[in-house]
Amino acid sequence: MTSDLRRRALDAIDDLDGATATGSALLRRLREQSPEAASAAEDAGAASVDEPNLYPVLHRLEADWKVRATWQIGADGAPHRTYRRRRRMPRLPFKGGLG
């Protein structure tokens, strides 16, 4: 379940690239990706399965250098944690010698 959520969270971050990818925006995107699971959870009166697991998954993705998290001040003045996919720089070829 967690590996599936990791992949879906990375996909959601990619989808929101350029937009403010806060935890709540990512959760909305995850619900849009699987509307049947979200509607089943709403019918049962419970939170979606992703909701309690989202932030631990995001913290793990940050620790694995898959995403970069920063704090930003929103329009309401409250700080929000935003997430962005880390882009790996291509390795430059080694030129020259040691001496």
Within-domain flag for 91: no
Within-domain flag for 42: yes
> What is the reported pLDDT for 71?
93
| Element spanning 30, H or E | helix 23-33
Please give the residue range of the domain that contains residue 38: 2-85
Confidence of residue 76 (pLDDT cuts 50, 70, 90): very high
Split into its structural domains, the chain has a count of 1
> What is the reported pLDDT for 45?
55
- Give the Cα separation of 22 and 73 in Å (integer): 11
- Give the Cα separation of 63 and 45 in Å (integer): 33
> What is the reported pLDDT for 53?
87
Within-domain flag for 26: yes
CATH code where residue 10 lies? 1.10.10.10
Residue at token pair 């929101």 = 16
pLDDT digits (tens, 9 = 90+) for 23-70: 888 888 888 887 665 565 555 555 566 788 888 999 998 998 888 899
Within-domain flag for 79: yes
Within-domain flag for 7: yes
Give, in order, the Cα–Cα distances in Å from 91 to each of 21, 48, 62, 98: 28, 41, 21, 19
Within-domain flag for 90: no
The encoded tokens of residue 2 equal 């967690």
Within-domain flag for 97: no
Adjacent-strand bridge partners of 14? none
pLDDT digits (tens, 9 = 90+) for 80-98: 999 988 876 666 666 665 5
Within-domain flag for 38: yes
